[in-house]
């Protein structure tokens, strides 16, 4: 089990590697290196390191349904945190626009595997990663639900939850939506939250910010300590 010092050390290494990946992939004329697996680790350690800065005890768990176990120094009550990290890319094979996207599998939300979900948008602004954080009930309410068919691999993912943020906003989401429907069985239209997110992402990043997440964590720990 990694202690606080080891978590910080790993994150500093991952941060340097991440900067090199991004610098290389932004060069003209190069074939971009896939960083999906790396970014997943980067996101987990980014959140873990920031939580350590907030004086929580953090354990990298990578259990079914969540990635981090977080405890308060004061009362020891624990919360399970799932981290989803997305880079800006075409979310659909035949899509026309770049977007960030976060997918939660059914095995993670049914039964409940996490208390909070932290969504990271890599380079939301130049050299700045955006963070959206939601409680478990908010994820179930805000994310669109659907089934995903991988035609190439002939396998299917049922009842997953999805949230997409398009760089060019709601018009890009609406343009990609018919293409998306060819690959994914969506339950109804995008949620009201997903529409509002694509209309004004800056507002959403402020409303569901890191500071709000930390505040909710502290309130939850305080509430548990009184029971």
Domains of the chain, first to last: 4-226 (3.40.1350.10)
Cα separation, 21 vs 27, whole angstroms: 10
Mean of pLDDT values over 91-100: 88
Mean of pLDDT values over 131-136: 98
Tokens of 180: 């998306």
Q: Which of 43, 47, 45 is nearest to 87 (CA)?
A: 43
Least confident of 54-68, 141-155, 201-215: 141-155
Q: Report the length, in residues, of the chain.
A: 227
Tokens 């339950």 belong to residue:
187
Cα separation, 82 vs 134, whole angstroms: 10
Q: What pLDDT, on the 0 to 100 scale, is given for residue 184?
A: 80
| Structural Rg of the chain based on CA atoms | 18
Of the two residues 152 and 49, the one the predictor is more confident about is 49
The answer to whether residue 205 scores a pLDDT higher than 70 is yes
**pLDDT single digits (tens) 25-36:** 889 998 888 788
Q: What pLDDT, on the 0 to 100 scale, is given for residue 76?
A: 62
* pLDDT range class, residue 156, cuts 50, 70, 90: confident
The answer to whether residue 150 scores a pLDDT higher than 70 is no
Span between the terminal Cα atoms of the chain, in Å = 29
Cβ neighbors of 58 (< 8 A, separation 6 or more) are 4, 7, 48, 51, 52, 68, 69, 70, 71
Tokens of 55: 């004086």
């Amino acid at each position: 089990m990694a202690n606080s010092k080891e978590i910080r050390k790993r994150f500093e290494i991952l941060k340097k590697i991440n900067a090199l990946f991004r610098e290389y992939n932004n060069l003209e004329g190069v074939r971009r290196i896939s960083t999906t697996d790396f970014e997943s680790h980067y996101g987990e350690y980014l959140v873990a390191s920031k939580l350590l800065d907030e004086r929580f005890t953090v354990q990298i768990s990578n259990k079914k349904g969540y990635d981090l176990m977080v405890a308060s120094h004061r009362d020891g009550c624990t919360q399970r945190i799932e981290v989803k990290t997305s880079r800006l890319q075409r979310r659909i094979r035949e899509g026309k626009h770049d977007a960030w996207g976060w997918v939660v599998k059914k095995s993670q939300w049914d039964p409940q595997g996490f208390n909070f979900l932290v969504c990271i948008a890599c380079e939301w602004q130049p050299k700045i990663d955006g963070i959206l954080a939601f409680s478990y009930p908010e994820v179930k309410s805000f994310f669109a639900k659907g089934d995903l068919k991988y035609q190439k691999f002939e396998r299917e993912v049922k009842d997953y939850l999805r949230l997409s943020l398009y760089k060019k906003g709601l018009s890009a989401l609406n343009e990609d939506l018919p293409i998306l429907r060819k690959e994914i069985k969506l339950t109804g239209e995008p949620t009201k939250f997903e529409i509002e997110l694509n209309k004004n992402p800056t507002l959403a990043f402020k409303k569901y910010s890191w500071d709000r997440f930390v505040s909710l964590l502290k309130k939850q720990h305080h509430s548990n300590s009184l029971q």
